[in-house]
Amino acid sequence: MAEEPRPTLGLRHAALFCVDLARMEQFYVSVLGYRVEWRPDPDNVYLTSGSDSLALHAGADAARGETRLDHLGVLLDDPEQVDAWASKLAAAGVTLAAAPRTHRDGSRSCYALDPDGNKLQFLFHPGLAGR
**Which 8-state DSSP code applies to residue 28?**
I
pLDDT tens digits, the chain, 131 residues: what are they? 678 757 767 778 898 988 899 999 999 999 999 999 999 999 999 999 998 999 999 986 655 666 678 899 999 999 999 999 999 999 999 999 999 999 988 999 999 999 999 999 999 988 877 65
Q: In the prediction, which pLDDT does 65 show? A: 64
Q: Answer whether 107's CB lies under 8 Å from 75's CB.
A: no
pLDDT in tens, 77-90: 999 999 999 999 99
Q: In the prediction, which pLDDT does 94 show? A: 96
Q: Residues 46-85, buried b or exposed e (16+ Cβ, 10 A)?
A: bbebeebebebbbbeebeeeeeeeeeeebbbeebebbbeb
Q: Quick check: do 10-63 and 70-131 share a fold? A: yes
Architecture of the domain spanning 10-63: Roll (3.10)
Domain 70-131 grouped into CATH 3.10.20.90: no
Other Cβ atoms within 10 Å of 3 Cβ, number: 5
Q: In the prediction, which pLDDT does 115 show? A: 94
CA distance 124 to 76: 5
Each domain of the chain, given as residue ranges in start order, spans 10-63, 70-131
